[in-house]
Structure 1
Amino acid sequence: MNYLDSNRLECIVTETGPDPDASVIWLHGLGADGHDFEPIVPQLQRSSARSIRFVFPHAPVRPVTVNGGMEMRAWYDIAGMDIARDQDREGIADSVARVDRLIDDEIERGVPAERIVLAGFSQGGAIALRCGLARSERLAGVIALSCYLLEADEIDTWSTAPGRAAPVFMGHGSMDPVVPMALGRHAAERLVAVDVDVQWQAWVMAHGVHPDEISAIDRWLAERLGVPA
């Protein structure tokens, strides 16, 4: 099935001030939608001190095999419980192309690539990593939460030198039953092995976002976007 023939991703857009000079594109997890991370914007108090455009896209609706073929918003199909195997390459490629288009849209709106951060949670985080590290220009950074590295064994093939130059923030729950922390840690180690600047942190939580994690993201994001302390 060729999902690229359908319309562009629908997005929720929030701006923290007039004439934003930076953008954050934030991808939700499996079964959620763009509204899922809308509430995080007012919690990013330091980084939001300057005008930022937050873009929260809705993933396409697709059948998800592991959920009995039920249709839901998903960045790619998941064939079974071993999420690191049997990856849906067609769905991954489709979502990477869609997110690339969102990044290009922001550049066309006047935000340079080095002022764009790509963020995501779970499936969204996996796509953020896969997309950000493959860009032809360096982004401001990638935030990858509670996720893993797609096509990890082929990273030398699909990643680019500018993509690998973007710093990465990775956060994970030590008790995550959905995406085991070992997968997230392995992703961080694999990125470090190809010279990506990775900040890895773990919190005592399940598959979610910790308040201290939001504070850490706020500090990291403010540093990437040049917000004064």
Structure 2
Amino acid sequence: MYTHQKKYITAGKPIEETNKAILFIHGRGASAESILTLSEHLDVADFSLFAPQATNNSWYPYSFMAPEVQNQPALDSAIEILQELLDSILAQGVKSENIYLLGFSQGACLTAEFATRNAQRYGGLIIFTGGLIGQEINTSRYTGDFAGTPVLITTGDPDPHVPVSRVNETIKIMEEKGAKIISKIYPRRPHTILPEEIEFAKSILSTNHSN
């Protein structure tokens, strides 16, 4: 088991110029550099981009639906990495409603779990094939109110890693906490990101900006 080194890369304009940030959370076996290539397909020229790097290229060792103890202490460490990065952006004067989180696969699960434990008005959440973490969802640790935060959550049916049932559970919990959900379930879609999903993500990134 492992804890994560505090390591991330940045791209785009400096935060003091943009007052808008997007966090890219990579999947298992991927990297901060690889997830940032998604920015080439999104309209993020006026954003500051941040991508944390998981130690060993994995945020936690087992399935997101494994008993949580099997994924510790890596999972808690991953949550802490995101919290510290978010806090550092907020400390630079950026409002939470101008902060967006985007994750794919394992990174999407981590994005959903982190944001729901810290529900507040984000600019938007983009959850490409992911859901809340745990063999059973522990709703007692989800606090706060999304206050209308737009959330895109997608998956394939079937997906080899993320059951549709868990996506539906995640949607229900996030809606109960005030999120505005856009969900798309694609029949027989491979474990990837489709062009249509990118277009949905663009629509979330193009709204709700304030300075």
Q: Secondary structure at the match of 1:29?
A: coil
Contact 1:173 1:202 in 2 (8 A): yes
Contact 2:155 2:164 in 1 (8 A): yes
**1:1-229 maps to which residues of 2 (within 5 A)?**
3=3, 7-15=5-13, 19-45=17-43, 48=44, 51-61=46-56, 73-78=57-62, 83-87=64-68, 88-135=71-118, 137-151=120-134, 153-155=137-139, 157-163=140-146, 166-204=149-187, 205-225=189-209
Q: Deviations over 1:157-212 (max 9, x none)?
A: 21122357533210112342232333323322333344432211123421110011
Unaligned runs of 5+ in 1: 62-72
Contact 1:179 1:207 in 2 (8 A): no
Equivalent-residue separation in structure 1 for 2:144 and 2:67 (angstroms): 27
CA RMSD of aligned residues (A): 2.5
Contact 2:152 2:200 in 1 (8 A): no
Equivalent-residue separation in structure 2 for 1:210 and 1:89 (angstroms): 32
Deviation at 1:18, TM superposition (A): 8.0
Higher-Rg structure is 1
Equivalent-residue separation in structure 1 for 2:186 and 2:78 (angstroms): 29
Unaligned runs of 5+ in 2: none
Gap change, CA 1:216 and 1:3, over 3 Å in 2: same
Gap change, CA 1:179 and 1:105, over 3 Å in 2: same
How many residues are treated as equivalent by the alignment? 206
Equivalent-residue separation in structure 1 for 2:194 and 2:97 (angstroms): 27
The residue that corresponds to 1:68 in the other structure is: none
Contact 1:146 1:181 in 2 (8 A): no
Equivalent-residue separation in structure 2 for 1:202 and 1:98 (angstroms): 30
- Aligned-residue identity in percent: 19
Equivalent-residue separation in structure 2 for 1:38 and 1:15 (angstroms): 14
Equivalent-residue separation in structure 2 for 1:215 and 1:176 (angstroms): 21
Gap change, CA 1:164 and 1:134, over 3 Å in 2: farther
